[in-house]
Amino acid sequence: MAGKALRGYFERLGNQVTSGVWQLGFAARFFGYMLLHSGTALRRFSLTIREIYFSGVLSLVIILVSGLFVGMVLGLQGYHTLERYGSSEALGVLVALSLVRELGPVVAGLLFASRAGSAITAEIGLMKATEQISAMEMMAVDPIARVVAPRFWGGVISMPLLAALFSATGIFGGYLVGVKLIGVDEGAFWSQMQAAVDVREDILNGVLKSVVFGIAVSWIAVFEGYDAAPTAEGVSRATTRTVVTSSLAILALDFVLTALMFTGGSAT
Amino acid sequence: MPDSNIVEVENVWFGYDPGRAVLRDVSVTIPRGKVVAIMGQSGCGKTTLLRIIGGVHLPTRGRARVLGQLTSGLDQDGLYAMRRRMGMLFQFGALFTDMSVYDNVAFQMREHTDLAQDMIHDLVMLKLQAVGLRGAAQLMPSELSGGMARRVALARAIALDPQLMLYDEPFTGLDPISFGVIARLVRTLNDALGATSIVVSHDVQECLDIVDYLYFVADGQVVAKGTPQEIRASQEPFVDQFVHGKPDGPVPFNYPAPEYDVDLELTEV
Amino acid sequence: MNRSTIDLWVGILVAAGLGALLFLALKVGNLASFSSAQTYEVKANFANIGGLKVRAPVKSAGVVVGRVADIRFDTETYEAVVTLSLGAAYRFPRDTVAKILTSGLLGEQYIGLEAGGDSKMLANGDRIKLTQSAVVLENLISQFLFSKAAEGKDNSK
């Protein structure tokens, strides 16, 4: 009796793994097809601009407010930790490096996935459930070119902009708390930061990270929407999957990218 | 005269899963200029047949020839070229919810033609006038009733004057007035456009009034066909049950189940 | 929501995003220094570079005058060969001393140049002859212990 249950468990596990691999292959083919058919999204740029509005502009509020608060917390916590080693003047360095290298791309990516990624998935999934996608196909318009690709590129373009805004607002928040509130020396704050933050190593790498995250989140969001079961339940499950998968992907990619970018150099 | 048939479905078999065939050896001919109904119960395969005609699925066996071409021989470009000569009305309209009524009807014109904006404007007004909704041009789909939405979808489907119109359950869920409006539109638009129409439905009485020919599908096979007069007079048990809405007949009332007294636990198996 | 409003807001987003990037590059990072300025290269050999990394600053009198461009290992002399990239405006005499120093207690290591008195200046491709290696903590400790042990021996004699 237990043997049968155990066997059933392993069968289900194997089934999940194989269907997971199959999903991944399907998602990869979908990605390739979408890239090949991105011509429309780029030629009729107004479609993409509309999507930049819906994923980028409408995420501005959450990004800016979160950035400000994260920066302020960094300023507060950073000061109290650095103060113990008499290095409170390095606060600017701490805040800037944390944001530009890690928190900017990662937290902005997570927020983007929850707000814009889930919206994209829901939108595409609902279009599928109400047969709008089929209607488009029957009218000889490729839905992947017309509906999916603009949303993908809209996300990819918005992400780095939002991450940069997050980092900038965060640094400002750190400045507000550190210099204005607590009283760290303003000159030391900025000068040490400028000395320690390198444009190529830190800022460019941070931008690169946010581009990679943008591609990952947008890809997952459009794929889950397109692949959703055409029912209300199917759409809701797809939206949840987008947020969960995107978040895990961002954190995993962050580890890989950080290892490549920031520690690879010290091997010499 | 093969050219006078817009659609020829020959001995088509099809199943979504390899084991279960939804359509078994189905043959249907749609002559030019006629309105033909494909009727049957829910799940009998009539929508699948419509999809095969629309090129959405390829038959597992047999051939489907639409507008002079075999659907199995088409690549994506060929398929899209064929579809530009067809119009399809979906069950609940399937309007694009992020665009106005005007933009919905203008969609195909903007995507497939290079017409100037004022030309498109005139055409959109023409199409909306044909379905009686010219005044609703600036409304959004969410502001329309079910019947109005379906009429707008119809205007959208005929935007490029298609040669073949496909209707997937166009009467579902409509009030009697909207019902009558759509039914009348199906007939008049077909004749006005010089097109051919295929209506998939299970609303017998309306279809008998407007179509030229009917096919009855049950269990994936064509069980009866004929003109409305022939169908009305038919003694064939399934047709008789279907047309007159009898609860029991070839299609049983009871879903297969064990003996009643076994279920009530009055007798041991 | 009409077209022009959308375009306006997208324009604002893109402008703000690029502005943030510019702010980060200029005010937060050190884009202004040495990216396009003229530089020349000199080499220096060290017995031990300690924790010196590529792109570490080269300072003289506390002012940044260049960057460490490359660090290699010479298999013949078993020494580290460090390539310094110095700003063209800063010329140093041929007998300049290059030392590896630490900035602050926990700080990063950098190269400090102390100018000599030679009338001839270092040119591109020259080598700094006088160098001082990094202070390695273990050597310092063993030196200290050794000298303490020697002291103890002397006292007990």
Query: What was the pLDDT predicted at B266?
Result: 80
Question: pLDDT, tens digit, for every residue of A176-204?
Answer: 999 999 988 888 888 888 878 878 788 89
In the block, tokens 């690029």 appear at C18
pLDDT in tens, chain B (269 residues): 446 788 888 888 888 887 788 888 899 999 999 999 999 887 788 888 999 999 888 888 888 999 888 988 888 899 999 999 999 999 888 999 999 999 999 999 999 998 999 999 999 999 999 999 999 999 999 999 988 999 999 999 999 999 999 999 999 888 888 888 899 999 999 999 899 999 999 888 888 889 999 999 888 888 888 999 988 888 888 888 888 888 877 777 778 888 888 888 887 66
Q: Is the ipTM of this complex over 0.90?
A: no
Distance between CA atoms of A155 and C9, rounded to whole angstroms?
Answer: 15
Q: What tokens appear for B241 in the block?
A: 């049950």
Chains that touch B (3 or more CB pairs under 8 A): A
Distance between CA atoms of B11 and C141, rounded to whole angstroms?
Answer: 93
Name residues 12-51 of chain B within 8 A of A (Cβ). Answer: none
**What is the band of A264 on the pLDDT scale with cuts at 50, 70, 90?**
low
Question: pLDDT, tens digit, for every residue of A39-62?
Answer: 888 888 989 999 999 999 999 999
Q: Do A142 and B86 touch (CB under 8 A)?
A: no
CB A147 within 8 A of CB A54: no
| B86 contacts chain A (CB < 8 A) | yes
| B96 contacts chain A (CB < 8 A) | yes
| Nearest-CA distance C48 → chain A (Å) | 14
Distance between CA atoms of C13 and B181, rounded to whole angstroms?
Answer: 48
| A142 contacts chain B (CB < 8 A) | yes
Q: How many CB atoms lie within 10 A of CB A50?
A: 19
Testing the interface with A: which of B51, B56, B79, B80 to mutate, by most A Cβ within 10 A? B80
| B65 contacts chain A (CB < 8 A) | no
Distance of CA C45 to the CA centre of its chain: 14
| Nearest-CA distance A74 → chain C (Å) | 16
Please report which helix (H) or strand (E) contains residue A243, including its range: helix A232-258
Chains that touch A (3 or more CB pairs under 8 A): B, C
| Nearest-CA distance C41 → chain A (Å) | 20
Distance between CA atoms of A219 and A125, rounded to whole angstroms?
Answer: 14
| A194 contacts chain C (CB < 8 A) | yes
CB B60 within 8 A of CB B14: yes
- Select from A87, A160, A199 the Cβ nearest to the Cβ of C30: A199
Q: What are the residues of chain C with a beta carbon less than 8 Å away from any beta carbon of chain A?
A: 3, 6-7, 9-10, 12-14, 16-18, 20-21, 23-25, 27-31, 35, 53-55, 71, 104, 106
Name residues 103-142 of chain A within 8 A of C (Cβ). Answer: none
CB B216 within 8 A of CB B238: yes
Q: What tokens appear for B256 in the block?
A: 């297969």
| B110 contacts chain A (CB < 8 A) | no
Chains that touch C (3 or more CB pairs under 8 A): A
- Select from A52, A164, A199 the Cβ nearest to the Cβ of C29: A199
| Nearest-CA distance A230 → chain B (Å) | 13
| Integer CA distances (angstroms), B102 to A128, A131, B109, B185, in order | 22, 19, 11, 19
